[in-house]
Chains A and B, each alone.
Chain A
Amino acid sequence: AQSVTQPDIHITVSEGASLELRCNYSYGATPYLFWYVQSPGQGLQLLLKYFSGDTLVQGIKGFEAEFKRSQSSFNLRKPSVHWSDAAEYFCVLGNQGGKLIFGQGTELSVKP
């Protein structure tokens, strides 16, 4: 079965602190993986994507993610969080057939 799990529904971090959002997937072949961000009342914006190649991918707004096949994970990281990063973050699995499967999302709050 194909699935995406984001274990953390809500995370709070202090501004300036580092961030890691977890994502685990289940898929029998090489996955396409994405992280999207949704600010309140807005649509979803792509942060970064992994198709193949280098397992550490860089995205916009200072985010990066590392693909670890052995752990079936694609965790999102940022070394120093800004108040404007408060939003909901979605990990997404893309299969060979074109379907995209969203995780449940992780809501990030940033403390001043």
Chain B
Amino acid sequence: DAGVIQSPRHEVTEMGQEVTLRCKPISGHDYLFWYRQTMMRGLELLIYFNNNVPIDDSGMPEDRFSAKMPNASFSTLKIQPSEPRDSAVYFCASRDRGELFFGEGSRLTVL
């Protein structure tokens, strides 16, 4: 298996623009997690899904953030409008029997 695949790996955008991050989990994994990592706040859980259903979105910082999982093989995290303080590395992870498998992350820079 190719592992968890995230795209884009790097994105630079201007404040106010819409950003969409994508994730393809490992086939057969029933949990999917979105994390954000910054120097100041470390790793923060934003939202996670079980069988495509959002279970806990309490970590989503604001209404500007939204996440979807239309099917078992695809998820998106959208920020609209983006702000400079959203600059971070966003990780997607899928889970199998307790173990998280992480993607390589999407590094977002909002100017």
By the criterion of a CB under 8 Å from any partner CB, how many residues of chain B are at the interface?
Answer: 21
Contact A99 B43, CB 8 Å, known A42-B104, A44-B91, A46-B99:
no
Across-interface contacts of B56 in A (CB, < 8 A):
99
Verify A49–B91 contact, CB threshold 8 A: no
**Contact, CB under 8 Å: A43 / B105:** yes
* Chain B residue at minimum C-beta to C-beta distance from A105: B42
CA distance A94 to B35 in the complex (A): 15
Cβ B100 vs Cβ A99 within 8 A: no
**Residue B70 interfacial (CB < 8 Å):** no
At the interface, yes or no: A100 with Cβ under 8 Å from chain B? yes
Please determine whether A43 and B104 come into contact, CB atoms closer than 8 angstroms: yes
CB pair A102–B45 under 8 Å, yes or no, is yes
Contact with B along A16-27 (1 / 0, CB 8 A): 000000000000
Total interface residues on A, CB under 8 Å, equals 21
Residue A32 at the chain B interface, CB threshold 8 Å: yes
Contacts of A42 in B (CB 8 A): 104
Q: Which residues of B contact A34 (CB under 8 A)?
A: 98-100
A43, B91: Cβ atoms closer than 8 Å = yes
Nearest residue (CB) in B for A100 is: B100
Contact with B along A83-104 (1 / 0, CB 8 A): 0000000101010011111101
A98–B91 CB distance below 8 A: no
Report B103 CB to chain A, min CB distance, Å: 6
**Cβ of B34 under 8 Å from chain A:** no
The answer, among A43, A45, A97, A104, for a CB contact under 8 Å with B42, is: A104
- For chain A, residues 1 to 47, give those with C-beta under 8 angstroms from any C-beta of chain B: 32, 34, 36, 42-46
A102 and B99 in contact, given A42-B104, A43-B104 (Cβ under 8 angstroms):
no
A34-B98, A94-B98, A98-B50 given. 16 additional CB < 8 A pairs? Answer: A34-B100, A36-B100, A42-B104, A43-B103, A49-B98, A92-B100, A99-B45, A99-B48, A99-B55, A100-B33, A100-B45, A100-B100, A102-B35, A102-B43, A102-B45, A105-B43
Q: Which 5 A-B pairs have the closest CB atoms?
A: A43-B102, A44-B102, A102-B43, A43-B104, A104-B42
24 contacts between A and B (CB under 8 A): A34-B100, A36-B102, A43-B91, A43-B105, A44-B91, A44-B93, A45-B102, A46-B99, A46-B100, A46-B101, A49-B99, A94-B98, A97-B55, A98-B50, A98-B95, A99-B48, A99-B55, A100-B33, A100-B45, A100-B95, A101-B45, A102-B42, A104-B42, A105-B42
